[in-house]
Amino acid sequence: MTLDAYLDYVIFPILTISIILVFIRLFKGPEVADRVIALDLIITIGIGLITTYSIRSEQAVLLDVAMILALIAFLGTIAFAFYLDKNKQP
Amino acid sequence: MNILIALFSTVGALAILFASIGILRMPDFYLRLSVTVKAATLGVGLLLVSAAILFPDVSVTTKAIAIAFFLILTAPVAAHMIGRTAYHTGIPTWKGTVIDELKKNQPTPPPVADVTPLSALKRKPIKKPSDEGS
């Protein structure tokens, strides 16, 4: 079994199943904060997917996208936390 | 080399899978938060390590280490901020939560149990007048 086939048939399905599971939590999360952390986890798994695809296709340029995505995930979570804290009921 | 990449990526993908199962099944927001940060960061870090092994290039290795370092640096900060916001917004904790250090007006904690054994508590020691001098 080559590495490419292993990545295709084991690693990608595991990551896809985990994104689907997190998406269920994003869909039914009872509070806004649950959805925020579900979105954060989806972006983190997306970084892992991009990294795995960069291994699979041997294109090292794709890691730049992963870096930008990590930046955006941090900024998004901080902004959500800031505005939720500003918007809270006294 | 391929076996090493396969090993690292398998462990990383399994860590990410456990993180997603945890965020789906945990009963509380705070437990979900704790699952999200640690396990997912570990999984993505291991995937980046396998990417750094595959490409025999200094720039790619540096890039992968930079991404992993950034994730490790920023994930606890974001988790702390969203957790503090959630506590101040009033999201309830799980009924099995034992300790809540941020709660206002909580009763004083019980005093630390004294370490005298049970047999010494049942029978008071007899004071001898010779012991008082020591």
Q: Tens digit of pLDDT for each residue in B27-82?
A: 888 888 888 888 989 999 999 999 998 888 899 899 989 998 998 999 899 899 98
Domain ranges of chain A: 3-86
B130 phi and psi angles, rounded to 5 deg: -80, -20
- Inspect the interface and report whether the beta carbons of B89 and A84 lie closer than 8 Å: yes
Residue B21, in any domain of the structure: yes
pLDDT of residue B134: 52
The letter for the amino acid at B28 is D
Rg (CA), chain A: 16
Interface test with B, best of A2, A63, A65, A83 (most B CBs within 10 A): A63
Q: Report the distance separating Cα A81 and Cα B82, nearest Å.
A: 5
Decide: A56 and B60 in contact? Cβ < 8 Å: no
In a domain, B11, yes or no: yes
Contacting residues of B for A70, CB less than 8 Å apart: 67, 70-71, 74
From CA B10, how far away is CA B31, in angstroms rounded? 25
Average model confidence (pLDDT) for chain A? Answer: 88
> CA-CA distance, A34 to A20, in Å (whole number)?
16
B9/A24 touch (CB, cutoff 8 Å), yes or no? no
Q: Please tell me the predicted confidence (pLDDT) of residue B26.
A: 86
- Per-residue pLDDT of A35-74, as tens digits, reads 988 999 999 999 999 999 999 998 888 999 989 988 888 8
d(CA B8, CA B11): 5
pLDDT of residue B47: 92
In a domain, B51, yes or no: yes
Q: Which domain holds residue B35?
A: 2-89
Cβ contacts from A onto B, under 8 A: 157
Find chain A residues with C-beta within 8 A of B69's C-beta.
Answer: none
Residue B100 lies in a domain: no
B12 vs A contacts (CB less than 8 Å): 48
Tell me which chain B residues have a C-beta less than 8 angstroms from the C-beta of A78: 77-78, 81
Q: Answer yes or no: are the C-beta atoms of A84 and B89 closer than 8 Å.
A: yes
Give me the sign of the Cα torsion angle B109, B91, A36, A53: positive
ipTM above 0.95, yes or no: no
Express each pLDDT in B68-115 by its tens digit: 899 899 989 989 998 888 888 877 777 877 777 777 765 565 566 666
Residue B43: inside a domain: yes
Query: What's the gap in Å between the CA of A29 and the closest CA on chain B?
Result: 9
Q: Can you say how many angstroms the Cα of residue A61 is from the centroid of all Cα atoms in its chain?
A: 19
In order of A71, A77, A85, B116, B118, the CA distances from B77 in angstroms are 13, 10, 15, 44, 47
Query: What is the average pLDDT across A14-19?
Result: 93
- Residues with Cβ < 8 Å from B97, sequence gap 6 or more? B28, B30
**CA–CA distance, B2 with B4 (Å, rounded to integer):** 5
- Residue A76's CB is within 10 A of a number of other CB atoms, namely 15
What total of structural domains would you count in chain B? 1
